[in-house]
């Protein structure tokens, strides 16, 4: 289901009230000119799954936090923030996933430039 980011908190709360009681994952996809954040919810009793997709402009990539409804969102929101550069508004905890992250270009963005000195495990 495609939704607007301004409806996210309302829809997530409504879906939890309707039985979608498990947040499976939150991730994102960078298409360069646009980004999509994807929320995977599950109704554990029936096993029914639902996805919520929110299209974002990479230059104005932000989402409201859903931690109040699904506390497990903490790790996923941190990943969205650090790896995709999506600002999560309303978060209180600011701990980083990456211990020495310097806040430069997020590595899961298409615009990320790998260091030319990077080598794989086999030396190539």
DSSP string, the chain: -B--GGGHHHHHHHHHHTT--EEEEEEEEE-SS-EEEEEEEEETTTTEEEEEEEEE-GGG-EEE--TTT-TTHHHHHHHIIIII--EEET------SSTT----S-TTSTT----TT---TT--
Average pLDDT of the residues of the chain: 87
Q: Indicate if the pLDDT at residue 123 is higher than 60.
A: no
Identify the weakest region by mean pLDDT among 19-23, 55-59, 64-68, 90-94.
90-94
User: What are the structural domains, with CATH classification, of the chain?
Assistant: 5-89 (3.30.460.80)
pLDDT of res. 99: 57
- Which tens digits make up the pLDDT trace of 83-118? 899 999 998 777 666 656 566 677 777 777 766 554
pLDDT of residue 106: 77
């Amino acid at each position: 289901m495609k939704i607007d980011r301004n409806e996210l908190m309302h829809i997530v709360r409504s879906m939890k009230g309707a039985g979608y009681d498990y947040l499976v994952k939150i991730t994102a996809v960078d298409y360069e000119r646009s980004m999509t954040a994807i929320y995977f919810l599950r109704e554990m009793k029936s096993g029914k799954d639902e996805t919520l997709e929110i299209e974002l402009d990479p230059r104005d990539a932000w989402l409201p936090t859903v931690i109040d409804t699904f506390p497990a969102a903490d790790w996923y929101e941190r990943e969205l923030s650090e790896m995709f550069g999506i600002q999560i508004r309303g978060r209180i905890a600011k701990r980083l996933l990456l211990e020495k992250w310097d806040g430069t270009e997020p590595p899961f963005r298409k615009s990320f430039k790998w260091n030319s000195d990077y080598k794989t495990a086999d030396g190539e």
